[in-house]
Amino acid sequence: MGRLYSYLQLVRVGWVFLREGVISALPAEELPPSARMVQSLSRHFARSKAKHASRSDRLARAVARLGPSYVKLGQFLATRPDVVGAEMASDLSLLQDQMETFAQDKAEASAAMSIGRPIPEVFSRFDAPIAAASIAQVHPAAVRTDAGDHKVAVKVVRPGIRRRFAQDLQTFYLVSHLVERHVPQARRLKPVEVARILEQTTRIEMDLRLEAAALSELGENTRDDPGFRVPEVDWERTGRDVLTMEWIDGIKMSHVDELRRAGHDLNHLADVLIQSFLRHTLRDGFFHADMHQGNLFVEPDGTIVAVDLGIVGRLGKKERRFLAEILFGFITRDYLRVAEVHFEAGYVPRHHDVRSFAQAIRAIGEPIHGQSAETISMARLLTLLFEITELFEMQTRPELVMLQKTMVVVEGVSRSLNPRFNMWKAAEPVVGEWIRQNLGPARLLSDAREGLGAAFRLAEQAPELAARAERLSRELDEMAENGVRFDAETAEAIGRSEARHGRSGRIALWIAALALVFIGWQLA
């Protein structure tokens, strides 16, 4: 039944896209002739209003008709230009996550159940929602303190969203498997893995305790950072379906004229924003992955406050080091080093020639060095880099793609504040300091400390590892002498499967059984 539901949903999606004119508006340059013919015919089925709308408007209407899960899918794919292409990612990035609010009584009931106490006991006021998105909506509220009522923002998960998303996720997986099976050129992009990441990130986003934890972690990381902070979490009034946090009185960064009238230095705000993002990325390896203008506020003293941490990104120390070396290589025009870093990181398969790859990197770097600094975009540089690596079969790296997409958004916000924004000049204090600390002598000391710590941990585990090795050796000797033995349940399962499958199926099952036995020895 689940698979039938997925196919019916797929038909529904196709029909909505057809009627809203999305299919007829898709880029046709790389489509085969048969697909182009189908696309041409699809124009006759589009609604008359859709025929005169822009592609982004058509897409927005279609996704809104399909429901919250598809809005979330569209927003997620907007962060993956490597999967849907730069044009489609740009269109998807315009999707407004603005849904109809749900009833006040349902919100209060959900919040009370999640907190475990009646609303009047925990809030002195719980007002109607001021904004609703695909997963949750936000209510102004207040809590009683010794100094009087204290205003807070309360985020409540949309009722039934988990069940709806679980159903729609089956359709997403079905499409991913079909694409991976029948479109060989798309396998490099790992569509099933993309669906899995969407599932993971959305499940995290639907548990508001995890968003609260992200706010808390980023708050600790940025406690001493100049000009940037996140709201404080009220843990007493936070649960799986409700998040209570500090109310932010500030101006949205999207209201540039209002910021200017309030006397804020827009050039300074642009510098602080990009420096904060790079500091989070390089120093902490933990960054806000949805830093668009609607999620950024400026307080009266000029401090930038970032809200809505449902989507975050992480980079390991190795990835941060490679990122810094790549950027530094472009700055110094050391294209061979940039290419070598890609090979060392395992981003590009070893069968390619590193010098040929360096030549392709030079094609990106040299035009940039001929431009003035304020016209050079670091985000554009990374975008071009991903386009070049596709020619060399670079496997998709979700964490790097998320970083690149977030950098595009953050740099765009900075340029909206300062059209002559100099990305390199603004980034130098942060990137330069990180490079000096992590790519010079300090790096050797850091690596030595980490290596020494790993050696101590290995020494502590040596007795246990030796015992496991000895036990495995005895079991292998016993297997060589007496053969492999299965328990009755395993043997019966194999017998049932043999009755259902042919010769190839039997071989596969025996291989799987042997693998399970071997894994069992490893875990014993």
Active-site residue set: 290
CA pair distance 200, 202, nearest whole angstrom: 6
User: In terms of Cα–Cα distance, which of 81, 63, 80, 62 is closest to 72?
Assistant: 63
Token pair in block for residue 477? 């000797």
Q: Are 238 and 111 in contact (CB under 8 A)?
A: no
Token pair in block for residue 452? 């020494």
Q: How far is CA 432 from CA 278, 415, 427, 437, in A?
A: 11, 21, 8, 9
Q: What is the DSSP letter of 30?
A: T
Q: Are 381 and 366 in contact (CB under 8 A)?
A: no
Give the three-state DSSP class for 142.
strand
Q: Are 115 and 155 in contact (CB under 8 A)?
A: no
- What one-letter code names the amino acid at 137? Q
Put residue 479 in one of left, alpha, beta given phi > 0 → left and psi -120 to 50 → alpha.
alpha
Give the three-state DSSP class for 305.
strand
- Bridge partners of 229, per DSSP, are 305
CA-atom Rg of the chain in angstroms = 27
Q: How far is CA 144 from CA 126, 149, 151, 249, 429, in A?
A: 12, 5, 9, 19, 43
